[in-house]
Structure 1
């Protein structure tokens, strides 16, 4: 059995004649599908291989003896209409009065068009499982895949999206039943006109979206729910006896809510039932006849990547009651309107700004996506566009003309300047070497003095850092005299520390250093029970210190003149004799 695109028979009717399966005109050729027969216009409800180009009038559709439904084109190409496993052999086909085209094997349905919906479901048809979505047509006359999708999701939500179904993004959603977690898994339109979502048999939940159940004697009604080319999901009733089509229910009251109506860099504006697409100021439609392609600027200059000598001139236009989708690349809080506009003007990345109270300035890059303008939107938009560009003049450079007469003068001055520079360099090197030699001699002199003192008497040579640490930074002062100040300190030892008295001498000049050295030699060699013992010294540059053993009872002066513990005259006489020895 065969059907022919350009001659009779071109289709197989249902028993009532309300539905037909076969070739129907589309574009400049024919497509294979199912349609509801109308008195003035047919309504296509399913298309096979919808994204294939139309075939010529010489194409045939053959139901082969091997049980295959094949489309043969004029150039000999074959296209399978129904995908079946190799083990299945079809022996019958029928077009039902419900609009379902079915293939049978031994009176068992092995394939049906209801399982592969395009943009429409009919009474008795479901969206569920792996066949859970509708994709809109490009237009009412072009049934190729369009830009909108309705999906019965696994999370129990029925969601409408703009964009390709293979690239679904939550930001592309524009309508949803908001029934997440209710376990709905099936969208069903029954033959009485009830459109509802159902859960699996385990949960027995139901949510009715629309109920158009017929009343009275009007039984000849066919219901269909279609995701139309404008992105609105509508429920229709076809009264067959009257041959009328009525639109009964829809998901969107404002058609501009369907994202993508007007394409990139444009916005949708609605007044009542009328909607219109507009380009932003400074932009023009890519194709006036297909406004869904969006708009573009006349200038394609990237402000951030423009040549440095290129001056780009911008203008900013204000549009009230505007919104668009996407995430801003920058949000600047607490800015007044004019400051927000200025921030976009000065930012080469900024293509548009949405300003809303309280003082929120959100900056976006181009292209601007899903624009919408409506009176109930309180956001103000600033659109920046390029007016043109100019090339900035290069900086003026003065030219110096050199004649042959003064070339020798320039050469002489150059040589003289070079000689002076070299001489200054040599003087600097010699000065540095002389300074370093004197520093080394001074360091050797300090070392020699310390070594001589050590060799002349058995005193310990301390470093300044050792004594600074022993006295905790010279904090505990014991007394002060005309030659210096005495501090208490503690020297660490092998298992036992030693308390000392450190006398930090005032500045000693070069002549007094030799005298100090002589006194240290005498005191260091003297061992008298009435004299405090000198333990060591420190000589580091101008810093000179003497280290004595510490007397816990204080000095002789303290004993003699202490009002509380003054010694008797006999004891005083003994002390005087001992000192004189």
Structure 2
């Protein structure tokens, strides 16, 4: 009863103190005034009438605050709207407002007076919101001498660049979900860390660059990586120029008209020019064949492109459309995957990327056998490449499927034997669709809003209560807040970590995991953050269950590590990353459930001398590949920050899987703030000098730790043990391992011509086959010493490390 009374009083009080509404159509809005969704006339119009800004209807009881071309019909938001404040969180069609507060903050609120979006600005001066003729919405401080811009829409683009609007290093264009749904889609145009303008396909499961073509280097694609200013702009005459040397002119170049560069829902970027009849036409596009765009037809499908008919998506035989209203969901199988199977031949069909196994210069039979030996293999791709070499690609994920007559390869789709006699070219008619038409996706919000009618008795009672009972109301509010806090605490176990649900992990109960581990009896690992136990789940899967240290009110570090590990692993997908199956968050208990690694950690295997040189080399290569993925292939910039043998696990085939992301740092690639680390991260002996000397932190800290791990694999010497013998300072970070190895190389090179310096540092426990693997080990050692250079700029990137190791393999073959 107290809750309801206080809520009603506060809601009515906020309503009575709302801002006066601007009722005239002008280009400005002054501080202290608002625009209301209930008043169609509350619209800002640019002085020349080209652009309008206000509430834009996108569905039943759903609106966004947007900027659009005034002359274009509002029935087609994807062609009229050029910017939105809240594209992913529409507000109610009644009682929602955009208010310019006297504090200088621009706030968008829905019917329940809940802030949906704000400019996050403050000012002690009068402010004004202005819609300019170029379509830029500008919030400014009004001084007597000058005008200072606090915020502008040009700095926060959605899917469109207008003439003169710059795309910068901290901004990106994100496509709409479809032609009728303006919420964020899967495609992004942005500057990467190499200062190159790229197109990215990005979902919760898969992320890949597709333009410029990923198989080309930046130089081969005609791009320059040297200008770090990262600016791109389209002018009003149809010329586009970017600091990476990418430039083009539209087909109508030279004519002054309204143009917009837009990343469309199909992942292509196009320039649209506005004709006199208010119709758009395409005056330039980046990708002529739309099937090149990654993920365009979803999983388990093939894209075919005809210049006259456009793009067509088709399910593979044995698969059906998953969602007929949205082809991006792809297709799902109509059969149970088994190891007992045959293959269907698809000439000139490729599934680009996501290779689970890649083998160069091999035969068809070997490629087929590799797929048959892996029950999770769904297709093997046998491709003829340059220098008359055939390459084999084993794939577990069927995405980016494309039929192209110019592709010199064949894909072999795996199907159960009873379905393998179907004609490979016969796609079911109902499972084929033209993907160019957008799907209507209206949003009906269920938020309640207060009625506009309040009787006179309630008004009188309200004002009387406010006038004579302010102190009483304050006391009630305090009591209500206390009760609400207690109620929230009591519900904490039931609510758990709802933010984790989008990642699809299963939420286990504490009792389930206690039963699975037989009371946490079999310990298989231990670290500063917690203990790892072996367990058997109810579905008979063997799991590694990590029990973090019990959290309490003051234990913020353990809680932060739990959130970090869940958040980061939830969006990654790589064969050399540990696979997470679920989690538990009950009271003070925090547990993570992983796949079980039969051969334990690299640290355990190094102690027991179970790894020969071939295994060690493959472990180094696999670890390098996954670090390159984290640093350079994900949309976010992910630093692991704790690479060490204890965090590299080995499966039944001794393939490495990196684990323990509790200390990881995830940053947006467009804002790699190297000073945002609030603490030193890592393990003594494996940490780069940057941590100790408070230098800028980059991905090179992982490169350094990787180099220490490789040296440990070669020498059999732990930097942790050697560190106890060294002095404080830089040498204490890696003990004497690095300077010792450098000194051995220097001395052997100068004193013993022709002898191998690696023989002086290698682990004597497995020296028997050194001569056979000498070149391989020398390559490893040289790469390791490059990775542990004191100057981070002298260290290679992880992708360069992978290239050095792979080039050795190719030379050996």
Q: TM-score, normalised by structure 1?
A: 0.58
Asked if 1:248 is matched to 2:280, the reply is no
Match of 1:375 in 2: 405
Match of 1:265 in 2: 300
Distance 2:179 2:371 in 1: 42
Asked if 1:32 is matched to 2:65, the reply is yes
Aligned runs of 1:225-304 on 2, under 5 Å? 225-239=261-275, 241-273=276-308, 274-301=310-337, 303=338
Distance 1:300 1:166 in 2: 22
C-alpha displacement of 1:351: 1.3
- CA shift digits 1:391-416 (9 cap, x unpaired): xxxxxxxxxxxxxxxxxxxxxxxxxx
C-alpha displacement of 1:88: 5.7
8 Å contact from structure 1 (residues 265, 279) kept in 2: yes
Give SS of 1:76's match. coil
Match of 1:110 in 2: 150
Compare the two structures and name the one with the higher helix fraction.
Answer: 2
Structure 2, unaligned runs of 5 or more: 1-32, 420-813
Structure 1, unaligned runs of 5 or more: 200-205, 304-311, 390-581
8 Å contact from structure 2 (residues 250, 283) kept in 1: no
8 Å contact from structure 1 (residues 285, 294) kept in 2: yes
8 Å contact from structure 1 (residues 162, 174) kept in 2: no
Task: Give the alignment partner of residue 359 of structure 2, picking from 331, 344, 348.
Answer: 331
C-alpha displacement of 1:242: 3.5
Distance 1:26 1:295 in 2: 29
Asked if 1:181 is matched to 2:217, the reply is no
Match of 1:76 in 2: 113
Task: Give the alignment partner of residue 348 of structure 1, picking from 371, 375, 398.
Answer: 375
Distance 1:290 1:351 in 2: 24
Task: Give the alignment partner of residue 202 of structure 2, picking from 141, 146, 163.
Answer: 163
8 Å contact from structure 2 (residues 201, 209) kept in 1: no
8 Å contact from structure 2 (residues 301, 330) kept in 1: yes
Match of 2:574 in 1: none
Distance 2:418 2:396 in 1: 17
- CA shift digits 1:104-151 (9 cap, x unpaired): 1023221100001111111111011322x2111111221211111111
Asked if 1:134 is matched to 2:173, the reply is yes
Asked if 1:317 is matched to 2:344, the reply is yes
8 Å contact from structure 2 (residues 223, 246) kept in 1: no
Match of 1:462 in 2: none
Give SS of 1:114's match. helix
8 Å contact from structure 1 (residues 160, 174) kept in 2: no
Task: Count matched residues.
Answer: 367
Distance 1:134 1:264 in 2: 24
Compare the two structures and name the one with the higher strand fraction.
Answer: 1
8 Å contact from structure 1 (residues 194, 212) kept in 2: no
8 Å contact from structure 1 (residues 49, 81) kept in 2: no
Match of 2:390 in 1: 360
Residues 345 and 57 from structure 1, CA distance in 2 versus in 1: closer, same or farther, beyond 3 angstroms?
A: same
Q: TM-score, normalised by structure 2?
A: 0.42
Residues 80 and 352 from structure 1, CA distance in 2 versus in 1: closer, same or farther, beyond 3 angstroms?
A: closer
8 Å contact from structure 2 (residues 377, 395) kept in 1: yes
Residues 255 and 345 from structure 1, CA distance in 2 versus in 1: closer, same or farther, beyond 3 angstroms?
A: same
Residues 212 and 374 from structure 1, CA distance in 2 versus in 1: closer, same or farther, beyond 3 angstroms?
A: closer
Residues 379 and 24 from structure 1, CA distance in 2 versus in 1: closer, same or farther, beyond 3 angstroms?
A: same
C-alpha displacement of 1:13: 0.9
8 Å contact from structure 2 (residues 250, 284) kept in 1: no
Asked if 1:152 is matched to 2:191, the reply is yes
Asked if 1:100 is matched to 2:136, the reply is yes
Match of 1:554 in 2: none
Give SS of 1:350's match. coil
Give SS of 2:178's match. coil
Residues 115 and 359 from structure 1, CA distance in 2 versus in 1: closer, same or farther, beyond 3 angstroms?
A: closer
Residues 225 and 172 from structure 1, CA distance in 2 versus in 1: closer, same or farther, beyond 3 angstroms?
A: closer
Match of 1:44 in 2: 81
Task: Select the structure of larger CA radius of gyration.
Answer: 1
Residues 171 and 92 from structure 1, CA distance in 2 versus in 1: closer, same or farther, beyond 3 angstroms?
A: closer
8 Å contact from structure 2 (residues 44, 131) kept in 1: yes
C-alpha displacement of 1:313: 4.3
Distance 2:366 2:262 in 1: 48
Match of 1:193 in 2: 238
8 Å contact from structure 1 (residues 27, 54) kept in 2: no
